[in-house]
Amino acid sequence: MKRLHLRRGVAVLALGALAGTGLVNAPSPARAVISGAEVETETYFFDAECADTASAPNPEPAPLSDNSVPVTRAHSVAGTSTHGGNPADITDFAASSQLTAVVSPIGSGPATITATGSASARAVPRLATTECDGHARAYASARGDFVLSQPMWATITATGNGAGGAYGEIWGDGDGIYLRTASRTSGTVSALIPAGDWSFYFDVQADAASEPTDPRQRARDYQMKFRIDLHPVGSAGAVAGKSKGTVQLGARDCSTGNVTAALTKRAKKKAKKVVFKVNGATVAKFKGKKLKKRTLALPAAPSSAAEVVAIIKLKNGKKLKVTRSYLACS
């Protein structure tokens, strides 16, 4: 898999750790509906040594679209196997899986693709020792293809818990990012992906075996949650803090990297001093007669994320702070 522009990727157990945030400020043209998307489950059991009952057939995959409507598939099977030479040597099987996927409209604005699922498998012999070799498997997945009209920051976030595993990825033309969860793990990984054709995939699975040397393998359960967030470059997060209406923090212009900010007419009435900082460095300072209504372009390197902070000292001596974060532009 070709390495993309990753944001601080760090391996943690079986997955990478990184956070991504932001809301879009870009216009939204006609969206591209995803294609070939579906949710499916697959559960079955078999015995390599003993005669087993047949597993019930799996349901057909359910179609999935980018309309924010949850789609779920669930299936379960149960049965037994019996040793031909010892009718008391019976293994009980059970397997079940389910997965719910939701895709919000995918276009030039922000979008999310989520999957929540579980898998359970049992292959439990009734005798202390068995001559049979039983296996049960539970699996569920979601997949689909879509088109991006512009570069996006893609972030996969995952949590997993239990005995089993889960996997999530997004890829296109040899590029991709992925996460694989283990027991009681969580994390995120993020990358800047180019415009073009992309695909996503999630799965959850659990496998059980009646192997007598390892009884822990006879009953396994796993739960997972995966989420893919797509955000245009330069996207802004929510504004945090209060300014008493004196300051506004606007959008980021990715042609320059600059962030738009403004002093309102209330700044002159309420504030004694206003300082703007970008990633900890002071880039603008106003007090006295300079506290008048104006629009600002706060400089920020396009290739870096930006955190803009406005510190307002009011005339009554109180100090306020407003913060907004922006994704990198490249």
At 25-70, the pLDDT tens digits run 333 334 456 899 999 999 999 999 999 999 999 999 999 999 999 9
What is the per-residue pLDDT for 298?
96
Of the two residues 183 and 140, the one the predictor is more confident about is 140
CA angle 285-287-293, nearest 5°?
Answer: 85
**Structural domain spans, the chain:** 5-232, 240-326
Reported as a single tens digit per residue, the pLDDT across 224-235 is 999 999 999 999
What is the per-residue pLDDT for 216?
84
DSSP conformation letters of 50-115:
SEEPPPPPPPPPEE--SSS--EEEEEEEEEEEEETTEEEEEEEEEEEEEEEEEEPPPSSS-EEEEE
d(CA 12, CA 244): 42
Query: Does 11 score more than 60 pLDDT?
Result: no
Q: H-helix or E-strand containing 191? A: strand 185-193
What is the per-residue pLDDT for 30?
41
Residue 163 per-residue DSSP state:
S
The pTM score is: 0.82
Span 259-279, mean pLDDT? Answer: 95
Reported as a single tens digit per residue, the pLDDT across 64-114 is 999 999 999 999 999 999 999 999 999 999 999 999 999 999 988 899 999
b/e string for 111-133 if b means 16 or more Cβ within 10 A?
Answer: bbbbbbbbbbbbbbbeeeebebb
Reported as a single tens digit per residue, the pLDDT across 280-311 is 999 999 999 999 999 999 999 999 999 999 99
Query: Phi and psi (nearest 5°) for 289?
Result: -65, -20
Architecture of domain 240-326 in this structure: Sandwich (2.60)
What is the per-residue pLDDT for 164?
92
Tell me which residue of 205, 206, 199, 186 sits closest to 15, measured CA to CA.
186
Considering Cα of 328, then 116, then 1, then 187, what sign does the dihedral take?
positive
Which tokens belong to 264? Answer: 């309102």
129's CB contacts (< 8 A; 6+ apart) are 212
Span 168-176, mean pLDDT? Answer: 87
303's CB contacts (< 8 A; 6+ apart) are 257, 328, 329, 330
